[in-house]
């Protein structure tokens, strides 16, 4: 069993979700091809959790050292319309 934690990826999901006017909607996003490649390589190696992208890795590692409300506030901040 594997889990892919990609962070924001360049797809149409933010537009379809009405999130164009949010911080996460406007921020640079990871390539869908690179994210898929990272996931496939990790899956083929038998890795259980795959974190694609440098900033996503920082958030995932950092979330292990802070209370759960901190990443929740970060997500809320990024997803709130401007």
Stretches where the chain sits below pLDDT 50 are: none
What global pTM score does this model have?
A: 0.77
Q: Which residues pair with 81 in a beta bridge?
A: 22
Q: Which residues pair with 30 in a beta bridge?
A: 9
pLDDT at 25: 95
pLDDT at 69: 95
pLDDT at 2: 82
């Amino acid at each position: 069993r594997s889990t892919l934690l990609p962070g924001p990826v360049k797809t149409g999901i933010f537009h379809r979700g009405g999130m164009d006017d949010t911080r996460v909607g406007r921020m640079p996003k990871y390539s869908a091809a690179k994210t898929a490649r990272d996931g496939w390589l990790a899956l083929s190696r038998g890795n259980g959790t795959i974190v694609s992208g440098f900033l996503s890795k920082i958030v995932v590692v950092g979330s292990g050292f802070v209370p759960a409300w901190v990443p929740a506030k970060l997500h809320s901040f990024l997803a709130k319309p401007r």
